[in-house]
Structure 1
Amino acid sequence: MTSPPPETTICSLSFPTPSILLVTLTRTKELNTIPNHGHWELERIWNWMDGNPDLLVGIFTGSGRAFCTGADLREWVKIPKEQKGLLPPTGFCGISMRHGKKPILAAVNGLAVGGGVEALINCDMVICSHSSVLSLPDVRVGLSLLGGTLPLLVRKIGRGRATDMVLTGRNVGAEEALRWGLVDRVVEDPVDEAVKIAKMIAENSPDGVWASREGIFLGLGEKGSFEAGKEFQSRYWAPFLREGKNSEEGIKAFVERRKPNWDRNWDKSKL
């Protein structure tokens, strides 16, 4: 039996379909800044999603006019110095340094500032509204990014654009971020679009999605593309996908022209 969801104080949990988890930050008046305990709360939520075989995709968004505007600096002035910037192993919002087992889509509905941008940088896809504004103004308050995503930002958009965004702290609009490759789609309703994409992902073989996502992560590493490709073949193809029930079911369903009946309790020993 699947465990109940963790208790929440900074967000709400909903389920657009039984296989999709929608996490919405609810600190609307605070523009969805994250207090210290919020990072651990979100980490528990994502870990719960990863351990729930019925949940296949997560969506992360914010209420009101902000997606997430970073750390709660008003809290920082009241807490001891050693507590400032403390993050769980998975980073800001439990996402910025997360590897995880299942994809998370960012549905950016407005302002994304500081740690909010760090969280979306490491999401599997980023869908923005036309009015979204992204910024990394940490240098303006004597800080740098806390969540560990500067190297990933450089890989996504290049050194020059990362320098432009990080060292100036200026605002970047959704269309400019799209041209840079920092976001993937710009639409009228990012949550609605994210749900559509999540449904498409959830229709596929769960172990196929997991293995393919692992292969994408290999592409972010230091190995060359051919070396990483060979590693993917040796780790996931023959010993895992080829021998799994879902590859057999998927091919059979294709030949029989029907929808596959995926096994969600596939062998997770390689996770």
Structure 2
Amino acid sequence: MPITTKQLIQWKQEGRLIVALTAWDYVIAKLLDAAGVDLILVGDSMSVILGYKNTLPLTLDEIIHHAKAVQRGVSKALLVVDLPFLTYQESTQQAINSAGRVLKETGAQAVKLEGAYPFLVETITRLVQAGIPVMGHVGLTPQSIHHIGLCQQGRTEADGDRILQEALTLEKAGVFSIVLEHIPSSLGSKITQKLSIPTFSIGAGKDCDGYILVTSDILGLSEKQPPFAKVYTNLRQLITKAIEEYVMEAREGRL
């Protein structure tokens, strides 16, 4: 049976850790699903595989295109899709339209939005009321790169308190889970203890309810490696070697 948002909340109550990864195509999605990943995120981190320098240029059409391919490879995992930059910030109606397109066209079960400023919280409340499950995201929010950069957030007491309050506000607005990105582990632990919904750590320590990383990072495909992402294999090196061998054999007529 496919995993649901309610099941994730139940797992938190049971103390069962939740595993999540990102996917950008059918092949990777099918492998993740078969390996037992609980939640698959079609994140705007796919900007990297499209050759963008950051997540900002990604369009709604682009992420929908990839999410449709990912969905075809998923049979059990909960599928969540990021709403790209400026596809939900202009108005609540814009956010509903964007999220509605994602669910209708991709078959995903939920969307993820970054931040917790007052207007966005109101928007999330409306999305949830409209029957659209929402995953929250606080701490380092990559769509705010030109405002906060890519450094760890919540290092001061004041910033830590702000992020905690943001997480509590998102829970009250109705999100079913929250991604905590690149914050001190002590803060990740504190937020997790305060919330009744699952938290996902991406550089937020080991005491969250689940873990999420970018798949290209753990496979060694990324050009720049985040400080919090363990590399489990170096596919970049393996693929390069295999292609070089093919090129050599092809040029020597040994195929």
TM over 0.5: no
TM-score, normalized by length of structure 2?
0.31
TM-score, normalized by length of structure 1?
0.30
